[in-house]
Structure 1
Amino acid sequence: MMLLAFIFLLALLPAGSASGRHLPKAAISSPVFGPREVQGVLGGSAIVKCFYPPTAVNRHDRKYWCKMQGTRCVTVVSSNYVAPGYEGRVSLIDHPEAENFQVNISALGLGDAGTFQCGVGVNGRGLSHTVTVTLVEDPSEAAELFYVKLHSTWTVSCSFGEGTESLRKYLCKKETGGCRNIVDSHQDIDPDFQGRILLTFEKPSGTFSVTVTQMDWEDTGLYYCGAGEYGKDSNLKGLDVFVYEDKNFPQLQTKVIGKTGGSATFECLFDPLMKSSTRFWRKLRQEGGYETIIDNIGFVNYKYEGRVAMFENPGNKTVTVILNQLQAKDEGFYWCMSNELKEQQSSTELKVVEGKPALSGKKTVEALPGSRVDLSCSYPCQYYSYEKYWCKWNSSGCFMLPGQQQGVAGPSASCNTSTRTMLLSFDPLTEDDEGWYWCGVKRNGAFGETRGVQLLLSSGDDAKHTPELLEVDSSRDSGAVPPGGAYSDAEVRKGAAPESSDESRGSNTLALVLGPLAGLILIVVTAFAIVKYRQLKRSDLVSVGSYRTNISMSDFESVRDFSASNGAKEIQETPVGGDEFVTTTDTQESAADTTKAKRSSKEDAELAYSSFLVTSDTIAQGSSRGDSAVPKVSPPQD
């Protein structure tokens, strides 16, 4: 029955790598760690160091060293006790700040050999670790002890002298039947350590170091670093590695997945953040070694300009690195490294997959100096409640730009939640504004997706184009800015405030509708004016008191012609209130004026008005004398 239960438990374990298919070694052992074996010479001394979990209780609790006798463990020394027979040669010193205590034994005797336990609290309560002490005449060099936190980094340095420069350098792990190669100077790397182990050469000659990140339970064990071949050369050094869990140690991601054109965020742990240290972010090369991409003192690899930035977070003792505009060739392993805190290095694998990035917008925007520019960045509904920001990139980082509501000079950022668009406005655009800008989102202070856009200043030749041509060209040019983006000086009326992107689109639509209508109205009005002008040319309407009459300009011409042909002082007028013709006398100068060249329509109208007044006066005088007073006019003789 127990066997069936064990098989069922194994079936539930997830499939994975060779190491992932085994139960964690430290998961079934005590949280207190120390060496498995300590060797000493009779009459000599030995030192045993034991580590315990860094809790407040453990720091103040009793520490002890006891010897196993059957099922009991008899105390030899503790925090406040030394057993009889051990006074003066056995001591226990607690180092709570280093989370360990040390047992010092001198004048080793036969009774000091055997199986012991070092622990915290009361003997036999489980917080203990078993150590075997042996006495030898010629002890071999004891393996160096390493206590490494789960998911942290282990670094070891090995040196074998100048005569070993040409020999193969390696790190192997002791297993049944031999020592499994983990890494060597020929770049032969065990698959379980791929991407998280690095071998580098150091000074003096013959010295090299090995760094392993993301230490797991299965990494506990006995290792050997050496020069040459294991078992054939004596250049060998033992390394006893213990992995233990610290629940306060932050758990960093070991793999990040990003989309082509999108971004990826990496967390680096530096505890504590030392201002004097230099922090690097590097990519491992497939052929060996690494390439530095960015550091915290202003260096950025030229191939990554505008794409990568480093942000320090002293609050949680981490550094965030963001890489955007992802490409397929960006896949690989990235390392956070320090020149002073090697144990805090970490590695992350980046996978780039096809897909549409969460943030979208133009990659490049070009505009004229002095114009208005709106950089736009659209985000999906899932980012609606996230904090949005714009920042300007340089080699020292990406510096946050103020929001529009703060009313400060320079570019201002705003967010339209109805259209899910973030805008960065420049009004007017200056030469200092050229460069890279990032839009991004945050959640609970943690950086999320970002997108980069490059703002370029165009040459003055673009100002020669008309606004219509600029608008047509912008729809065909992949690098041009859509409506709501960049505007040239020709597109903004002189003396008028620049319009927003929505107002610009509205004005363009209104112009397209009213333009043809205005042209049609202009044609109709012009035609009407021409018709009226021609009518006015032929007949001018004159009003006198309550009388209205049409005075034809052709009548004036015929009267003048008739008067001129007969040399008379009479002028024929059109009838007013009757059918009679009336005559009047005029001076010789007036008669002569009628023979002058043809007047303009305005002059003719004035003449007609004067003649009408004279005729009206004559008619009024005739009416007072009766009909006999009106002289008869003879028809003209041919």
Structure 2
Amino acid sequence: MPKLFLLALGLLPWIPAVICEATSGGEHAVLEGQSLTVPCHYEPQYASHVKYWCLGKTREFCTSLARTDGPRSANPAEDKVSISDHKDQLLFSVTMNNLREADSGWYMCGVEIGGMWSADVVTHTHIKVIHGLSVVSSQVSGEEGSSVTVECLYSERYRESEKKWCRSGNSSCLLTGSEGSYEDTSVAISDDRTRTFTITLKKLQLRDSGWYWCYAGQQRIAVSLVVTPRPTTTAVSLTLTPSQSDARLHPPKSISQQSWNSHSHIMVSLLLCASLILLVGMAIMARQLWRRHGPSYPFLERDPEKARISTHCVCDLQNNAVIFHNRDSQDVA
């Protein structure tokens, strides 16, 4: 029993740190000559601990490459390996520059715990440095008439190789010359002679859509180009309905002598009609007034008896005398 207990204690540092491990990507593939940055996350309780990056799968046989408690470099971008702790983000990052094939292997992100009976918190990452060709984006798109850029990345051994740009299914290709460049009205190719050559497609047309190949030596990688139609501005025409067209008033025409002469007979006719209507109206009105308020004379009486008596009336207007035949007495004025 004591032997088993001692054996268990001796194996504690070798227990994989799966309970509270730091985390990072499992595997990375990168072209030779390029750089790689690996983020390693840790728990908040390890913010003040030392972090490290080493080559190997076990802590005892892991070759240390960088530590956060080590001397800081004046120019980390030029170092083979650099490490930086970002406590506000609870991670530390490791950058490896100018990778070579010999750099392929297993690496370890580690948080140093310290103490005989405490294992470090670690996680493993595999890095594979490959030769060949890759592309930043395997599918690019652009609007008709615009330009797009394709970036093809190659490994170190293809630095001096010929670079070319070909359309799939077409035997003709565009090649970089001795200066590592090519340009015409529609395509420009530039090789920086380190690890990238760039293809710029200018004045895109719809027929340019399709598949293309980036070549570096005998290595090639496919790129899809999609050209979208240019947006068109549609002219809007307004069609007026009859009611709308009637509302469109034209400016009045000026009155001239000719236009007045051509319409004078109409004015005369209107005046005559108005006068006739007025006269007829006045005659009707006079007749109505005469019937209602006109004087009543004996010779106009409609009663026959009254009309008979009135016919015997003799009026001497000159002597101002009136003779009444039907009275018992007569008065002479």
User: Shorter-normalised TM-score: what interval?
Assistant: 0.3 to 0.5
Looking at both structures, which has the greater relative contact order when contacts are Cα pairs under 8 Å and sequence separation is at least 6? 2
Task: Calculate the TM-score normalised by the size of structure 2.
Answer: 0.33
Larger Rg: 2
